[in-house]
């Protein structure tokens, strides 16, 4: 998981050390809470008031057990995108 967060600056989006640490912790919690087999960090959307972070998790069945989630600023992943 650390590798995917470390390479986000390659797309032009740079995460601060605080954001990277927070995301790494959040992604582990997300994987445990939803019982995902894997979690992918998709990226950061920069907004006018807040920044949003998008992640996607998948269970044993990649198509059936897949959820995309978002979080804003320094919160944990709260919203499910459908």
Model confidence pLDDT, tens digit, residues 2-58? 445 555 555 566 778 888 888 888 888 889 988 999 998 888 888 888 888 889 999
Tell me which residue has tokens 């990226």. 43
The secondary structure of residue 77, as a DSSP letter, is: P
Task: Single out the residue of 39, 38, 3, 37 nearest to residue 20, CA to CA.
Answer: 3
Tell me which residue has tokens 């499910």. 80
Domains of the chain, by residue range, sit at: 2-81
Predicted local confidence at residue 65, as pLDDT = 86
How many CB atoms are located within 10 Å of the residue 28 CB?
12
Distances in Å between the Cα of 48 and the Cα atoms of 22, 31, 52, 54 are 21, 29, 11, 17
Predicted local confidence at residue 43, as pLDDT = 83
CA–CA separation, 30 and 13 (whole Å): 22
Predicted local confidence at residue 37, as pLDDT = 93
Predicted local confidence at residue 42, as pLDDT = 87
The pTM (predicted TM-score) of the whole model is: 0.73
């Amino acid at each position: 998981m650390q590798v995917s967060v470390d390479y986000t600056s390659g797309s032009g989006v740079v995460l601060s050390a605080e954001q990277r640490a927070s995301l790494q912790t959040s992604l582990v919690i997300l994987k445990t809470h939803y019982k995902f087999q894997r979690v992918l960090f998709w990226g950061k959307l920069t907004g006018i008031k807040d920044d949003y972070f998008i992640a996607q998790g998948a269970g044993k069945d990649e198509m059936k057990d897949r959820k995309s989630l978002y979080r804003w600023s320094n919160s944990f992943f709260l919203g499910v995108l459908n």
